[in-house]
Structure 1
Amino acid sequence: MELYRWDLNLKVRLFGEGLFNLLFWMYFPFITVYFARTLGVELAGLLMAVPPLFLLVGSLIGGSLADEIGRRPVMLAGTFSQGFLFLVFALSTNAYVDYITYISIGFMGAIYKPASSAMVADLVPTEHLRNVFATFMASNNIGAVLGPLLGAVLFFEYRQALLLGCALVLFCYGGLLAVLTSETRPVSTEKTVATTFFTQGRSYATILIDPLFRLYLIAGVFALIPIMQLDVYLPVYLIEQTPATFNVSNTVLFGWLVAYNGLLFVVFIIPVTRVFRAWDERRVLLLSTFLGGFGTFLVAFSSNIWYLLIVTTMFTFGELIRSPVSQSFVSHYAPIESRGQYLATDTLQNTIGKFLAPVTVFASGFLSPLAVFTLILLSALIGMGLYAKLFDRLNQMKVSS
């Protein structure tokens, strides 16, 4: 689906979200360092374990509201609230206020995201969903590549100006959303969406009772654990447990691999998505899980920089081909009147994965690196088995119907 044919809602969001993500990645990678300096390393370490819980709750609330009151009002509320919170963050002189504000920014961003994804699913035909989601991801990852390079200087030297810039961009983006976008929520004749927090909980419980969707979530957790090791075990292994190569420190080497990972996303996510658009979801998810797990496993066998670039390419391509397909799968699997809630529930994979992925670091205290990488590969193989079981059941349902 060519960009010029996109609905105006999508064009506005592609521009606004891409610009904000650039600013987001200027401060996000350094926020833990900031709180470690202002609150102490031990307290900061404990406090930074809290945000994923708020992100999960915000996402679930946002998904339910997107189905109940519409995509546009939820996105407007999330955007303007984040703009105000960034303004508070920029003007604050108290570290604890900074932390509460940071948590709140993430919470409101999580409320925004399911409505944003649901709007894409509302507007884009099923056959084009992968390409459109891939375009949004490419735009976001440009910020993930450039943002940390700029933020390394701007965040610590001009933190207040950077945060004020984030607030200004969000207020401008919110204005564009208010003026140029329209509601896309499908009209439903049945009252199926939760109207209270209690019934919201029951609504999400109903989604989790769905055996096929629950199987999809569990498979996703095992598939994501290897992919998440780039931020979890790989820095520990490469920086502290391998010898330096090519006369560069292992810290610099790891930084190159992270930058290379982000660059691959920016350059290849759209063309790779187009290449695999003829593949069904079963083959794509099985291949991506294999590449992610086996590519990460291969890191154990050499610290040579050229070898590491090759295996980084392998596990990055696993993540590349997976992301748009997983979003499109949920978008067309979910009932249209509950699409926002299903997309919100889909974030459970990331949340649970982030909790389980650090087990590899704990295991490295008493297991050899090869044994740890074997556990990572085993997680991928379990994920592949569960995906195969999921699609076998889906095929059986289609045949029986």
Structure 2
Amino acid sequence: MSLPFLTIYLAQHTKMDPVLAGLTVGLGPLAGTICGFVGGNLSDQFGRRTVMVAAMFLWAGVYIGFAVAEQMFFFMLLNLLNGVCRSFFEPTSQALMADITPPERRIRVFGFRYLAINVGAVIGPLIGAVTGILAGKTAFLITGTVYFVYAWLLLLMLNRYRHDLASRVTQADRERVGMRAAFQVVRNDAALRFFLAGAILANIGYAQIDTTLPLYLKQNVMNGELLFSMLLAINAGLVVILQMILTRWTEKRPILQSLLIGTILFAAGMGCFAVGQHWGWFVIGMVILTVGEILIFPTNSLFIDRLAPNHLRGTYFGANGFQGLGWFMGPSLGGWLIHQLGGHWGFAVIGLVVICAMYFYWMGMRVYQSRSCEFLQEKSAVSSLVTEEKLHI
């Protein structure tokens, strides 16, 4: 309801130029990049409940802070905290879902999670179009209040089912690994590094939706603010309609196939934004991009879950936050490209950047599959030795 309009809000209520406004918005993902690993590891060590509830209460305060802030410095600080809260809450919540769900059903659960987010996003932009642009600070106050209520509901729910949730976590999952040791494991995981490189490039493209795109529409398209609100509603609405259909399709397909097709559709959506200034091109581009989004984001979570050891699940989901570098670089890069090259070439270059993600996704899956084959061979060898021992005895 409010954050997608933060760029426009900064342009109207401060003296920031488009590049600086994009940098301010990008500080949130930057903080998430740095802190996601920390939050995920803390949830592995001290429990999901503590990290999730604390992050949500602080998050409520951040949005109320947006409503009262006046100076550029405070907007930057608040958006940094916004990124910290997101980076603590989201990987921890995903790890909790994986903790209590059988492996074969996790892609569906991640799909439900993404669907739930977008149900709210269908309504949010329509409210934000009024409160975020016309009334200004009201949107942030409403958002902060909603987050505060949600934090209390979350606390009550987790307390009520505390013993049931604990019973579904195995002893191996409870093994604590310190920050330094966890960092060594993650740093040495080549498959994760390739995957994150691809996700960073894809997110550079997706970051344009909340930053460069609204500014470009406002400055170059008649009733651009209304069009932007409509595009967000289309995006969220299609996710609501198509999510479970495409999730069931994805369940039957290899992870890499979903990632590659989604990336191509991402780039094609950017290509439509680059073609012209008519409303129709932006609508078509958003439809194509949304289908790619549905294929990529839940599949991202599934791939991270496949990579992660049980006792480091939160840490791996937190490390996945390093893809936030794309959200940090995307707004500034997009703003600079649009300023230097114009919308046509600017969005076209972003589309080419997104296409490059395909190589890194492919390499990440190749390393993961190679590692899995080695593990199975070692397991088979150990099993054979045990059998020989028994026969000898």
Calculate the TM-score normalised by the size of structure 1.
0.78
Q: Secondary structure at the match of 1:266?
A: helix
Residues 39 and 256 from structure 1, CA distance in 2 versus in 1: closer, same or farther, beyond 3 angstroms? closer
Shift of 1:395: 3.4
Matched, 1:322 2:306: no
Give, in whole Å, the separation in 2 of the partners of 1:159 and 1:263. Answer: 23
* Paired residues of 2:43 and 2:51 also in contact (CA < 8 A): yes
Residues 326-382 of structure 1, C-alpha deviations (whole Å, 9 max, x = no match): 101111211111111110011111233432453132123333544333422322332
Cross-structure match for 1:76: 53
Correspondence for 1:115 among 76, 84, 92: 92
Correspondence for 1:253 among 213, 220, 227: 227
Matched, 1:219 2:198: yes
Cross-structure match for 1:188: 172
Correspondence for 2:207 among 219, 223, 228: 228
Give, in whole Å, the separation in 2 of the partners of 1:333 and 1:324. Answer: 15
Shift of 1:69: 1.7
Q: Which moved more, 1:137-146 or 1:169-178?
A: 169-178
Give, in whole Å, the separation in 1 of the partners of 2:13 and 2:218. Answer: 26
Matched, 1:176 2:157: yes
Residues 340 and 162 from structure 1, CA distance in 2 versus in 1: closer, same or farther, beyond 3 angstroms? closer
Residues 339 and 32 from structure 1, CA distance in 2 versus in 1: closer, same or farther, beyond 3 angstroms? same
* Paired residues of 2:200 and 2:324 also in contact (CA < 8 A): yes
Give, in whole Å, the separation in 1 of the partners of 2:7 and 2:344. Answer: 30
Q: Which moved more, 1:265-274 or 1:45-54?
A: 45-54
* Paired residues of 2:91 and 2:318 also in contact (CA < 8 A): yes
Residues 119 and 130 from structure 1, CA distance in 2 versus in 1: closer, same or farther, beyond 3 angstroms? same
Q: Structure 1: any 5+ residue segments left out of the alignment? A: 1-24, 195-199
Matched, 1:279 2:253: yes
Greater length-normalized contact order (CA 8 Å, ≥ 6 residues apart):
2
Correspondence for 1:354 among 324, 328, 336: 328
* Paired residues of 1:86 and 1:166 also in contact (CA < 8 A): no
Give, in whole Å, the separation in 2 of the partners of 1:279 and 1:315. Answer: 20
Shift of 1:252: 2.6
Aligned-residue Cα RMSD (Å) equals 3.3
Give, in whole Å, the separation in 1 of the partners of 2:151 and 2:314. Answer: 22
Shift of 1:222: 1.8
Calculate the TM-score normalised by the size of structure 2.
0.79
Residues 43-87 of structure 1, C-alpha deviations (whole Å, 9 max, x = no match): 98465553333333432221011111222232233344445x369
* Paired residues of 2:56 and 2:148 also in contact (CA < 8 A): no
Cross-structure match for 1:54: 31
* Paired residues of 1:300 and 1:370 also in contact (CA < 8 A): yes
Matched, 1:28 2:17: no
Q: Secondary structure at the match of 2:339?
A: coil
Q: Report % sequence identity.
A: 23
Residues 25-57 of structure 1, C-alpha deviations (whole Å, 9 max, x = no match): 3x4345566667776547984655533333334
Give, in whole Å, the separation in 2 of the partners of 1:80 and 1:353. Answer: 24
The size of the alignment, in residue pairs, is 364
